[in-house]
A and B are shown apart, each in its own frame.
Chain A
Amino acid sequence: MLCSISWADKGVEKPWLQGWLTRVIVMPEKEPVLSIKDLRVGIEGNEILHGINLDIAPGEIHAIMGRNGSGKTTAASTIMGHPDYEVNSGSISLNGEDLLELEAWERARKGVFLSFQYPQAVPGLQVGHFLRKSVASIRGEDAAKGPAFRQSLKSAMEEVSIPRTFLSRYVNDGFSGGEKKRFEILQLMLLQPKLAILDETDSGLDIDGIRVVSRGINAAIRGSDSGALIITHYSRILEHVKPDHVHVLIEGKIVKSGGPDLALELEEKGYEWLESEAEIGE
Chain B
Amino acid sequence: MGALEEAYLSLEEPPRSDHLWRYTPWRRVHPTGDPNEIPSGISTPEISLTMLDGREISGITIETENEISAPFDGSPTSISFLRAITNGKAIHVRIPDNWRSKVPMVLDIKPTGGLEAAHIHIEAGKFSEATLLTRVQGGFEWLGLLRTGVTGDGSHLSDVLVNKSQGGPLVRVDALRLGRDSSLTAGTVSAGSASTKADIRYLLDSPGANLSVLGSLLSTGEMQLDHHIEINHIASNTFSRLGWHTACGGHSTSVGTGMLRIEKGAKQADAGQVFHNLLLSEKARANSIPELEVEENDVVGCGHGTANGPVDESQRFYLMARGLSDKEAEDALVAAFLNSTLSEMGSDDVHQWLIEAVEDALSDL
Contact = CB atoms under 8 A, between A and B. Distances in A.
B315 A133 contact: no
Nearest to A172: B318
A137 B335 contact: no
A125 to B, nearest CB: 4
Given A124-B335, A124-B339, A105 B318 contact: no
A48 B317 CA distance: 21
A126 B329 CA distance: 14
A120 B315 contact: yes
B314 interface: yes
Nearest to A106: B325
B91 interface: no
B340 A124 contact: yes
Contacts of A113: 321
A137 B323 contact: yes
Contact of A105 (B329, B333, B339): B329
A119 B329 contact: no
Contacts of A82: 317
A80 B320 CA distance: 10
Main secondary structure of the interface of A (DSSP, over half): mixed
A109 interface: yes
Interface in B331-352: 332-333, 335-340, 342-343
A259 interface: no
Given A83-B317, A120-B315, A170-B340, A125 B322 contact: no
A104 B321 contact: yes
B321 A124 contact: no
Contacts of B302: none
Contacts of B343: 124
Interface in B303-335: 312, 314-315, 317-326, 328-329, 332-333, 335
A134 B324 CA distance: 7
Main secondary structure of the interface of B (DSSP, over half): helix
B333 A122 contact: yes
Given A105-B326, A133-B332, A137-B328, A122 B321 contact: no
Interface string A124-144: 111000100110011000000
Contacts of A120: 312, 314-315, 317-318
A114 B323 contact: no
Given A116-B318, A120-B314, A120-B315, A105 B324 contact: yes
Q: Determine which residue in A114, A116, A122, A137 has the highest number of CB atoms from chain B within 10 A of its CB, and name it.
A: A122
A134 B320 CA distance: 9
B324 A122 contact: no
B337 A137 contact: no
Interface in A173-220: 187, 191
A238 interface: no
A103 interface: yes
A33 interface: no
A208 B254 CA distance: 49
Contacts of B317: 82-83, 104, 120
A90 to B, nearest CB: 21
Contact of B322 (A83, A108, A123, A124): A108
Nearest to A107: B321
Interface string A73-112: 0000000111100000000000000000001110011000
14 contacts: A83-B317, A105-B320, A105-B323, A105-B324, A105-B326, A108-B320, A108-B322, A109-B323, A122-B315, A125-B333, A130-B322, A130-B332, A137-B324, A138-B323
Given A125-B339, A133-B324, A134-B324, 17 more contacts: A105-B324, A105-B326, A108-B323, A116-B318, A120-B312, A122-B332, A122-B336, A124-B337, A124-B342, A125-B335, A130-B322, A130-B332, A133-B322, A134-B322, A137-B325, A138-B323, A170-B336
